Amino acid sequence: MFFRTLSGRFLMLTIIFVMLAEVFIFLPSVARFREDFLLSRLERAQIASLALLASDGAISDQLEAELLENAGVFNVVLRRDELRELALSSPVPGPIWATYDMREASAYALMRDALDVMIRPENRVIRVIGQPVQEAGLLIEVTMETAPLRRELLDYALRILYLSLIISLSVATLLFLSVQRLIVGPIRRVIKSMSDYAQAPEDARRIIAPSASVTELREAEETLAKLQTDLTGALRQKERLAQLGGAVARISHDLRNILSTATLVADRIEASSDPAVTRAAPKLVGALSRAVNLCESTLAFGKAEEPPPRLTQFALRPLVQEVVDSEALAAGEDSKAEFVLDIPPSLTLRADPEQLFRVLANLVRNARQAIEATGDSGMVEIAASAQDDAVVIRVIDTGPGLPPRARENLFAAFHGGARKGGTGLGLVIAAELVRGHGGRLELMRSDLNGTEFRIVLPQRV
């Protein structure tokens, strides 16, 4: 289980990488050790030959054997003044297996030959040729066996291995402790903070306080702190909205009963013989019916259930005309907002008429109120067209445009009020209704020249 943790895997990888690094160091090291070993044999053999030359060759066989034994070779050949001279000699136990010229050996050849000596356990006789020290001749040649060289190489290789293990374990331990302190500790702290926060996300005291010294971990803690802060605020907002929704649901229930009574009265008014009453009565009955439907929808919304759209095929222009008539009636004769329709009479679409009426009424009302707030005359245009497999409806006004704060939080409840004093719920509900149709409500532009919203309703069957 330990090696499945971040610390364990980091420790294991550190040891592996250090050992790999030591392998790249090991080959040149053993090659250099073999080279130094052979060169030392050549130097000792040269010293032995100089002892012979100093005595003019008058040495006993016993002394010659001792010189060769101390040099670790079987014989010594010197080349001086273009002459090849056997300076010291003794019986060679076997044929010469290979010859190595140390004057021209490449790094690759040295490493290859060193590994060959270590791998082959048998004792062999080799010839070694090298340059004499202090320019004492042209070259020196010795014959020797490989067993002592192999023993020294293996001993040296084991020392390197032990040293590598000590270095790797020491480095891995130091890195392990560093990772524990700099990375694993802060990560565990973040995990504990997340666990504590999950138990009570409404408690702002459980929000993590960034304290990591590592830049990346510090950024992670700051991001987590912002996320927890935003989530805590959102949960509190949702709690308030839930309480508000319960109150609105109760109010809507009572208001629906009142409107039902008003609807009965409106039905009786519709039977009046007064022509003006007769013309106004249908609009009053329609307005009351929509109010009742709105109350019922509000009750459903209070249960977090927006009723699904009841899709029917209908002509768009009459519905928009009804929206405009309702807004014109609400604005009164003194309104400075002029309504313009640019909708082909033959344009039909498949949607829920009641929900689309609510969406358009909200957008047109906002546009009218924006114009009236300026005190100047203005125009509200509702245009529609069929594009590919969708119907696009545009609501354009010549008002002063939305405030920057409203544009930033346009579809956020209680944040995106399009006018001063508004709650911002209208556009939130309108966007939700449009999404229920599989479409989208978008703000195309909002500047000093006016505002344009676009509704895209897909018409796939």
Residue 172 and residue 15 in contact, taking contact as beta carbons nearer than 8 Å = yes
Structure tokens at 231: 């989530």
Work out the number of other CB atoms within 10 angstroms of the CB of residue 183. Answer: 17
* pLDDT score, position 422: 47
| DSSP secondary structure letters along 259-285 | HHHHHHHHHHHHT---HHHHHHHHHHH
DSSP 184: I
Stronger pLDDT, 53 or 222, i.e. the higher one: 222
* pLDDT score, position 318: 95
The CA distance from 206 to 188, in Å, is: 15
* pLDDT score, position 360: 94
Q: Is 125 helix (H, G, I), strand (E, B) or coil?
A: strand
* pLDDT score, position 397: 93
Residue 439 and residue 360 in contact, taking contact as beta carbons nearer than 8 Å = no
Q: 434, exposed or middle or buried, with CB in 10 Å at 0-12, 13-18, 19+? A: buried
> Is the model's pLDDT at 125 over the cut of 70?
yes
Residue 351: strand pairing partners: 312
Mean pLDDT of 103-127: 87
* pLDDT score, position 173: 81
The CA distance from 45 to 88, in Å, is: 9
> Is the model's pLDDT at 453 over the cut of 90?
yes
Confidence band of 68 (pLDDT split at 50, 70, 90)? confident
* pLDDT score, position 80: 67
* pLDDT score, position 306: 56
Residue 97 and residue 124 in contact, taking contact as beta carbons nearer than 8 Å = yes
* pLDDT score, position 313: 93
Tokens 């010294």, residue located: 213
For residues 7-44, one letter each, b for 16 or more C-beta atoms within 10 angstroms of the residue's C-beta and e for the rest, the string is: beebbeebbeebeeebeeebbebbbebbbebbeebbeb
Give every strand in the sheet of 139-145, ordered side by side: 83-88, 75-80, 139-145, 125-130, 96-101
> Is the model's pLDDT at 303 over the cut of 70?
no
| Lowest-pLDDT range of 54-63, 89-98, 193-202 | 54-63
Long-range contacts at 131-137 (CB < 8 A, ≥ 24 apart): 131/102, 131/103, 132/42, 132/46, 132/78, 133/43, 133/46, 136/46, 136/50, 137/78, 137/79, 137/80
> Is the model's pLDDT at 442 over the cut of 80?
yes
* pLDDT score, position 421: 43
CA distances, 375 to each of 335, 364, 368, 369, 403 (Å): 9, 17, 11, 10, 17
Please write the tens of the pLDDT for every residue from 141-195. 889 999 999 999 999 988 888 887 788 778 778 877 887 787 778 888 888 888 8
Mean pLDDT of 188-216: 81
Stronger pLDDT, 82 or 381, i.e. the higher one: 381
Q: Is 304 helix (H, G, I), strand (E, B) or coil?
A: coil
Q: Is 91 helix (H, G, I), strand (E, B) or coil?
A: coil
Confidence band of 263 (pLDDT split at 50, 70, 90)? low
Work out the number of other CB atoms within 10 angstroms of the CB of residue 168. Answer: 19
> Is the model's pLDDT at 278 over the cut of 50?
yes
Q: Write down the mean pLDDT value for the chain.
A: 80
Residue 168 and residue 19 in contact, taking contact as beta carbons nearer than 8 Å = yes
Mean pLDDT of 252-274: 64
> Is the model's pLDDT at 139 over the cut of 70?
yes
| Nearest by Cα to 96 from 32, 145, 51, 153 | 145
Stronger pLDDT, 213 or 425, i.e. the higher one: 213
* pLDDT score, position 323: 92
User: Of 192-201, 252-261, 329-338, 380-389, where does the model show the most confidence?
Assistant: 380-389
